[in-house]
Amino acid sequence: MVFTGLLVGVFVISMGGGGGAIYLGILTAVFNLAPASAAATSIVTALPSLAIGSWLYYRQGQINFHLGNIMLLSAVPSVLVGAFIAPFIPTKIYTIIIGLILLVLGIQVLYKVRKGNKKASANPSKTLPVIFGVISGLMVGVAGLSGGGPIMAGLLLMGAPMIQASATSSYVLVCMSIVGALTHVSGGQVDWPIGISLICGAVVGAAIAPRLMKKFAVGRGAIILNVIMGVLLVFMGTKTLL
């Protein structure tokens, strides 16, 4: 489990938390946890690695605090709203909505890669970060997902370089995960034995990821990582819909 956590930690922090659904997949498919327990455990498991990854990205000067804070201020209230309305939304409905959102975002990221990345605007729209923040927060609050997909996709679509997008997304998700973790821990759904084992590996992976990103997330490497992110979003969206 520790080695699994290490691999997931490297991948998730490299993707700015956008691969957080992998935690859910492993916990449900490999460890046979119930969906509610898997969602709670995945958020708690991801939190320490996100914190370490964010700190190291901060040390590299890669976090875009302007965009990150706008997303954060819209995402955190959305987590609370999502948690409140979750019992009143049929599972099938929010599953379809989340699947479509992830699918569309993935296609947009891949299309942007095909057209060629543009440099981030010096004065990016304030509306787009808010929209992506709200979507991400609702995903965390309603479905117990990491919410990294919309944040990461939004940053890439707004023109952020891959490493800056990963860094900023990790920063946003740290704060969101704290809120989500507190909500789920209070519900008693966390499987601590499995979660702690994964955390031990994930924090090591999180310490490695920013260094790897600094070395490889440039030029052709950045394009490849963008494609991976787009494909991952399309896969998660399709899997959610099926």
Domain spans of the chain, in order of start: 2-241
The answer to whether 177 touches 21, Cβ cutoff 8 Å, is no
pTM above 0.95?
no
End-to-end CA distance of the chain: 28
Rounded CA separation 148/113 (Å):
19
Q: pLDDT class for 122, splitting at 50, 70, 90?
A: very low
176 Cβ contact partners less than 8 Å away, ≥ 6 residues apart: 72, 75, 76, 79, 136, 137, 140, 147
Q: Report pLDDT digits (tens) over 170-197.
A: 999 988 888 777 776 776 778 889 889 8
Q: Report pLDDT digits (tens) over 78-99.
A: 988 887 887 788 878 877 887 8
How distant, in Å, are the alpha carbons of 123, 162, 229 from that of 222?
Answer: 23, 6, 10
Rounded CA separation 133/146 (Å):
12
pLDDT of residue 210: 92
For residue 230, the number of C-alpha atoms closer than 13 Å in the C-beta half-sphere is: 17
